[in-house]
Amino acid sequence: MKILVDENIPAMTVSELRRRGHDVLDFRGTQEEGSADSEVWNLAQKESRLLITTDKGFAQLRQSEHAGVLILQLGRTSQTPRLLCEIAI
């Protein structure tokens, strides 16, 4: 699966997704780090990638056609993600 992870997703999650064979794009440590949400969203759509984020602002995009959005809520004491909501077409 082609995935774009937002910068707020733990690196251990990125590593695990890659270990499982997914094509994961992560902006951390690249020139794209700090990109605006609109740029992140546009790239995800251009490359037909599932977007994984903790940013609830992406939930408003559920009305448009897209490759998918997975919104997680991270716990305060651990970086173990908990599914907040999933939006996919």
Residue 74 confidence (pLDDT): 66
Residues 8 and 54 sit within 8 Å (Cβ to Cβ)? yes
Q: What's the rounded Cα separation, in Å, for the pair 44 and 26?
A: 11
Strands 81-87, 69-74: pairing is: antiparallel
User: In angstroms, rounded to a whole number, what is the distance separating the alpha carbons of residues 61 and 15?
Assistant: 27
pLDDT of 88 reads 44
Please report where in the chains the tokens 């919104």 appear, as a residue: 71
Question: What is the Cα–Cα distance from 11 to 63, expressed in whole angstroms?
Answer: 29
pLDDT of residue 2: 94
pLDDT tens string, the chain, 89 residues long: the values are 999 999 888 888 899 899 999 999 998 888 888 888 888 888 888 999 999 988 877 776 655 566 677 777 666 555 555 544 444 43
Distance CA 89, CA 79 (A): 27
pLDDT of res. 79: 52
This prediction's pTM: 0.74
